[in-house]
Copies of this chain bind each other. A is one copy, B any other.
Amino acid sequence: MAQSATLRPAGLPDDVRAMLAEVAARRPRVHCITNTVAQNLTANVLLAIGAEPSMAMHPGEIVAMLAQADAALVNLGTFDEQRGVAAARLMEARDLLRGPVVIDPVMADRSPLRLEFAMRLATLPRAIIKGNRSEMAVLTPFLTKEITRVTTGPVDEIAGPSGKRSINAGHVMLARVTGTGCAAGAMIAAFAAVDADPVAAAAAALTCLGLAGEKAAATASGTGSFATHLLDALSGFSDRSVEEARSGEAR
């Protein structure tokens, strides 16, 4: 995501506000098979926008957890045997899934093990693949055009069945806090749980996180307070969108 020299106007785009209000109203449960480094921030980002995180991975309960979830995330960071088993169970339970699945192929460009898993996961129904340029470069040859593809970078590029979008929001500070990219995947899953168009959902999620990053950077004193302000910005965006939706209904 790009650094912007000037702050954007305070208002959030309409599509972001609408989806935030919808997430807060429906509280989608997003089941995350994600890395231990990013688990805490990912859960807090989902809670900040009104979604409900769950993170169980035991082979004896993962299928039940996934079947009841509104969306799923598989992030290949700190991939290990336990996560491998959990991802395999997700593959077997493909017909039980009732929502979209976001796949974040962390370092699939450097690890054949992860590339293999990412390719298999990409065959899941309603799959959305989100990676950086290097990761997407190795994966794209194997992806059909029905799959939503999100390539993050200075400008984020989204392509899928409903068309293409470019998102130019964000701040370099986002790269100096661990787990923000992983949390972006979880936000895409939460938005896609409440919107049938995965391209629109991914665009709104990345715009929302990027604008929160810009807002946080404007007042942060370093990387520690940036992380704190990022969550504050996200929960503030959510609260304001809910209030606006309510006052709109009341009119």
Contact = CB atoms under 8 A, between A and B. Distances in A.
Given A230-B224, A232-B222, A178 B40 contact: yes
A53 B227 contact: no
B44 A227 contact: yes
B236 A231 contact: no
A176 B57 contact: no
B221 A232 contact: yes
Q: How many copies of this chain sit in the oligomeric assembly?
A: 3
Contact of A223 (B56, B177, B235): B235
A232 B236 contact: no
A107 interface: yes
Interface string A23-60: 00000000000011111110110011000010111111
A contact face: mostly helix, strand, loop, or mixed: helix
A57 B80 CA distance: 7
Contact of A56 (B59, B68, B107, B235): B107
Contacts of A190: none
A64 B111 CA distance: 8
Contacts of A224: 44, 48, 227-232, 235
A14 interface: no
Nearest to A61: B111
A80, A110, A233 — most chain B CB neighbours (10 Å): A80
Interface of A: 35-41, 43-44, 47-48, 53, 55-61, 64-65, 68, 77-82, 84, 107, 110-111, 113-114, 175-179, 220-225, 227-236
